[in-house]
């Protein structure tokens, strides 16, 4: 009986801690904040904004999820970050295209092949909710919905016209 009473309490505590962790994500860039990869001002199109925070609390912004993934797969290309591998990253955050809220990039859904483009060109709008991603895909001629682990370096090169 005691176990049954503790189960809802435990579930409540776990849900609350997960929800509050999500609420702590911010996109607190300023007007002069520029993306690491393309050096463009983030505030000009915050719909696509993305950022990483390193384990030593450095923050780097990106003009889009695609630009973030360029860095993710080849961080040594930007030695000023002192990031060697993705293991050096604490948080990877993208903007939910539907709500404009910052979300954990590793749990987002990305639409490939839509007619919406960012400053970086063909890109991958991110969504927290799979239904928002499906609606976007259908309304904007998207081809496929991908999870974070499906965003390969080859896909990013393809989007950039490098393949």
Number of domains in the chain: 1
The pLDDT tens digits along the chain (163 residues) read: 544 444 444 344 344 334 434 458 999 999 999 999 999 999 999 999 999 999 999 999 999 999 999 999 999 999 999 999 999 999 999 999 999 999 999 999 999 999 999 999 999 999 999 999 999 999 999 999 999 999 999 999 999 998 7
What backbone torsions phi and psi does residue 3 show, to the nearest 5 degrees? -65, -40
pLDDT given at position 76: 96
Q: Which domain holds residue 20?
A: 2-159
Cβ(97)–Cβ(125) under 8 Å?
yes
Closest Cα partner for 67 from 145, 163, 129, 160?
A: 160
Q: Give pTM, 2 decimals.
A: 0.84
- CA within 13 Å, CB half, 89: 22
């Amino acid at each position: 009986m005691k176990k049954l009473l503790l189960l809802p309490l435990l579930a409540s505590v776990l849900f609350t801690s997960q929800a509050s962790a999500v609420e702590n994500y911010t996109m607190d860039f300023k007007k002069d904040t520029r993306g690491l990869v393309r050096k463009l001002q983030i505030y000009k199109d915050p719909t696509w904004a993305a950022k990483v925070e390193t384990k030593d609390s450095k923050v780097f912004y990106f003009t889009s999820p695609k630009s973030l993934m360029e860095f993710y797969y080849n961080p040594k290309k930007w030695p000023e970050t002192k990031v060697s591998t993705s293991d050096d990253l604490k948080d990877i955050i993208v903007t939910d295209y539907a709500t404009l809220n910052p979300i954990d990039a590793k749990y987002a859904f990305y639409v490939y092949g839509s007619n919406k483009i960012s400053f970086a060109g063909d890109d991958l709008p991110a969504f927290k909710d799979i239904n928002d991603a499906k609606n976007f895909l259908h309304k904007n001629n998207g081809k496929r919905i991908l999870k974070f682990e499906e965003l390969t370096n080859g896909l990013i090169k393809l989007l950039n016209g490098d393949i």
